[in-house]
Structure 1
Amino acid sequence: MPNQESTMEPSSKTAMVPQDLPVTTAATTTTAATNRKKLTLIPLIFLIYFEVAGGPFGEEPAVQAAGPLFALLGFLIFPFIWSVPEALITAELSTAFPGNGGYVIWADRAFGPFWGSLMGTWKYLSGVINIAAFPVLCIDYIDKIIPAFESGWPRYLAISISTLILSFVNYTGLTIVGYAAVLLAIASLSPFILMCLIAIPKIHPHRWLSLGQKGVGKDWNLFFNTLFWNLNFWDNVSTLAGEVDNPQKTFPVALFVAVIFTCLAYLFPLFAVIGSVNVDQTRWDSGFHAEAAEMIAGKWLKYWIEVGAVLSGIGLFEAQLSSYGYQLLGMANLGFLPKFFALRSSRFNTPWVGILLSTAIILAVSFMNFTDIIASANFLYSLGMLLEFSAFLWLRRKLPALKRPYRIPMRLPGLVIMCLIPSGFLVIIMAIATRTVYLISGLMTMAGIGWYFLMKIFKSKKFCVFSTIEVDEG
């Protein structure tokens, strides 16, 4: 995957754009520049892993929707259609613009500040709404042990306390979160490794070729949404680029390893359970892996996988909250948000304002019946990805001389084809949305547009202090 490009001289100064982060005023960067611990390769790999997957939890409905063979083919093929292109684009643009803000910077450099701000709105809202599901998921597993958490005020209190505790861990520093991700990955994946080993003598390979149980129809909507849900968000880590040690070299390697690691973490348990367990296809809903573990090895492994699901939810929460907290910091440094959003903790150097705002939204959403809101978040994410693919192609055409420490080894026509395939999938996902999803997504988009023009008024009237951007022209 890596195709390192050590030097590329621009043909003229007019072809240049900032090759590093836009540099803000000294007052903005003094705190950030001192006493900062950078993310290294290993923690970054596992942060990416938890941005995307967190384990094979949630892959089971693919079997329920389309049968064993299509589920296996889906997790074998879909990464090449979706995950690899998204990861490649993230590697190229994160190394070309190695600063907090990620995809916001890319859209801004390609199409201007309006689209950069709208990209930030789409990705931020879709992300924090998505994060709200993880504390709820953790409590859903815990209430099997403590029934009092199933409903009422004990449940609401448990969700609130768990959210606040996890947010505080995030506040203590990205380095701590990164190494916690390593430990959480080991703990949550170890029961699956053991389950796969125990299942080997019980595997019947012909079960892998089954097209599904007779009388059970194919639910392609569920099938493709399951694949999409389990294999997206590769670009989230781009908002942490300013916190990574030597991002030009570290990012491509981390993404390459994370893609392989994530795909294998999905495929091995799927092959093991399909091959060794013969059950009604309709039982393959979310959480079935725990039931399969009991069939393969006993209740002890089932409980271990349920604990692993809680740990995975914690890892997903921490990784994604970090991304969106640093996204707000990056947007403040770029002048999209008031300078206040760029404030860092004097002790932990973390973006406490971004973490606090995100936590407040997460708490509010976690108490709602948010099925349609989650679907709307996916719709907004799809809009953001279409804009991201467009920005990537436009930057290749507009700025061919831009120094790209990692460069996808393809010419523009090939890149267009690479982006069109996942874009077509996004259009399908959006086309099958409900009217409620269209309404909620439209309102959120209008709010994002209104926010952009409100910030323009605030700048012109000097109601808030905004960062002054001094662009390094190389």
Structure 2
Amino acid sequence: MAHRDEGLKRTIGVLGLSANIINIIVGAGIFALPAIIASKMGASSIIAYIFCGILIALVMLCFAEAGSKVNNTGGPYTYIETAFGDYAGFMGGVFVIVSALFADAAVSNALINMLATIYPVFEHGWLRLAFLVIILGGLALLNVIGLKQGIGLVKLNTIAKLIPLLILITLGWQGVSMEHLHIQSAPSLKTLGETSLILFFAFQGAETGLIVGGEIINPKRNVPRAILISILTVLIIYMLIQGVSQGVLGDDLPNFTAAPLAETARKVFGPMGFKLLFLGALISMFGYLSGSVLNNPRVVYALSRDRVIPLKKLSKIHPSFATPYVSIMVYAALCFIIAATGSFTQLAVIASGSMLIIYGLVSLSVIRLRYKLKPNPSEFKIPGGLLIPILSIGIILYFLSNLSRNEMIGTAIFIGVLSIIFAGIKWLKNR
């Protein structure tokens, strides 16, 4: 496919892209995840991890094929737009941005709230706003200066957040009791399905790491490799963390929903262990934000580049730094507004469902692109024909079926409103 990202430089290799994906996936959730999963399945939780790892791998294989065929910056939006046209691209792009903005705002507030537990001064409104400006403004400035600096920070954060987790995994086994890991009975299919639904959201993020498609070196080879490396790495880390937490705390694990890993470290290493994992959680949240400000503004850039939204300035590339600087600044400003007001609880529900819709549209895009674009021997193609895309679509429909009636109605209304906006934009462009 023709390359449309004039001015952007391809500087991201396999390791950089893998670190980018891992950094996005391993967010704040992993520091609370073990207690939530243990409360549902106990020692048999490991089965849910394996099951969910298989499911997310199927979806990410669809992303790998779509990413090897369509390697312009924009990630899932670009795949959908290329496969189905402007309307689907507009809907997909908006869903990606909305989901990302509210998730980033939530993590920003979670980061401040966590600091406030030790330093109550952060509870003051003016200081919270100042902190948001420093964090989001600083990350925006760093990514405007250059992709190399932005991806460098992502690599640093990825290493920094993984160090305390790896310490807990490698040294925490000294406090593990094998009795706590004994599986007494297999979980029911219903319990496995409900638990895997939670884990599915914990694995989200690989699609965000692929948004920098227009800046990846040899994407046809490096995209599928990076996905494989990152998903396997995250799956292994998650399983080991669950095993250590379950083995150390046993039946008490579900009682520590706020900070199960910190409590595990406290029991094994004492107060210093608690501080280490507490710091790890802060680093993880900051790393998530750094990855988001690196990746998500490029969806805004891509929507403007393709004239899906009639705001040409959003696709401007900085003449010196070769980055979509207007989109980066606008995205950071919107994130600050949402985080500062905090009035996003109801929309966050729609945002979580929107990502499942994105996954479904990308899986459909794989099928469409196989017939729309000329085959290229150097492109990655999922083995097994259409089996994996169809399986992915079926799994996503299953997850969506678990949304509440109000959530389904809210999502339908949101889609209706977006359709009206798209029609209005189309009418203005025709005039």
Q: How does 1:221-300 map to 2 (within 5 A)?
A: 223-300=195-272
Determine if contact 2:161/2:287 at 8 Å carries over to the other structure. Answer: no
Deviation at 1:398, TM superposition (A): 4.7
How do 1:131-146 residues align onto structure 2 when only pairs under 5 Å count? Answer: 131-146=104-119
Tell which deviates more after alignment, 142-151 or 441-450: 441-450
Equivalent AA in structure 1 for residue 425 of structure 2: M
Q: Could you say which residue in structure 2 is the equivalent of 1:16? A: none
Report how far residue 109 of structure 1 moved.
Answer: 2.8
Check conservation: 1:198, 1:297, Cα contact below 8 A: no
Which has the larger helix fraction?
A: 2
Say whether 1:20 aligns with 2:2.
yes
**Cα drift, residue 220 of structure 1:** 7.6
Kept after mapping to 2: 8 A contact 1:324/1:354:
no
CA distance in 2 between partners of 1:211 and 1:349 (Å) = 58
Take 1:167 and 1:279, find their aligned partners in 2: how far apart are those partners? Answer: 44
Pick the aligned partner of 1:126 from 94, 99, 112. 99
Q: 2:39 maps to which residue?
A: 65
1:11 counterpart residue number: none
- TM-score (normalised: structure 1): 0.82
- Structure 2 segments unaligned to the other structure (5+ residues): none
Partners of 2:73 and 2:214 within 8 A in 1: yes
CA distance in 1, matches of 2:37, 2:388: 32
CA contact (8 A) 1:64 1:285 kept: no
Higher alpha-carbon deviation: 338-347 or 49-58: 49-58
Which of 335, 339, 343 is the equivalent residue of 1:362? 335
Give the distance between the partners of 1:411 and 1:288, measured in 2 at CA. 42
User: For residues 324 and 20 of structure 2, what CA distance do their matches in structure 1 show?
Assistant: 17
Q: Could you say if the C-alpha distance between residues 239 and 281 of structure 1 is closer, same or farther in structure 2, counting changes exceeding 3 Å?
A: closer
Cα pair 2:66 2:365 within 8 Å, conserved: no
Give the TM-score of the pair, scaled to structure 2: 0.90
Identity, % of aligned pairs? 18
> Separation in 2 of the partners of 1:197 and 1:183?
21
CA-to-partner distance for each residue in 1:358-397, whole Å, 9 max, x for gaps?
Answer: 2222122213243322211011112222222222223234
Structure 1 stretches lacking a partner, 5+ long: 1-18, 213-217, 462-474
Does 1:444 pair with 2:414? Answer: yes
Aligned partner letter, 2:146: G
CA–CA distance in structure 2, aligned partners of residues 248 and 286 of structure 1? 41
- Out of 70, 88, 95, the position equivalent to 1:97 is 70
Say whether residues 1:110 and 2:71 are aligned partners.
no
Q: Tell me which residue corresponds to 2:128.
A: 155
In 1, are the aligned partners of 2:366 and 2:389 still within 8 Å (CA)?
no
CA distance in structure 2 between the partners assigned to 1:126 and 1:234 by the alignment? 14
> CA–CA distance in 1 between the matches of 2:323 and 2:369?
31
Contact 1:92 1:404 in 2 (8 A): no
Code of the aligned partner of 2:382: I
Sort the Cα spacing of 1:106 and 1:162 in 2 relative to 1 into closer, same or farther, 3 A: closer
Alignment equivalent of 1:85, drawn from 52, 58, 76: 58
Change (3 A) 1:205 1:421: farther
Equivalent positions of 1:129-208 (< 5 A) are: 129-208=102-181
Q: Per the alignment, do residues 220 and 362 of structure 1 end up closer, same or farther by CA in structure 2, a change over 3 Å counting? A: farther
Indicate yes or no: 2:404 matched with 1:433. Answer: yes
Q: Measure the CA separation in 1 of the matches of 2:302 and 2:88.
A: 15
Superposition CA RMSD, Å: 2.5
Pair 292,20 (structure 1): closer, same or farther in 2 beyond 3 Å: same
C-alpha spacing 1:73/1:265, structure 2 compared with 1 (3 Å) = same
Q: Is residue 43 of structure 1 aligned with residue 11 of structure 2?
A: no
Equivalent in the alignment of 2:364:
390
Per-residue deviation at 1:44?
1.2
CA contact (8 A) 2:99 2:351 kept: yes
Give, in angstroms, the shift of residue 400 of structure 1: 6.7
Q: For the pair shown, which has the larger CA radius of gyration, 1 or 2?
A: 1
Q: Secondary structure at the match of 2:384?
A: coil
Q: Hey, what's the Cα distance between the residues in 2 that align with 1:417 and 1:444?
A: 26
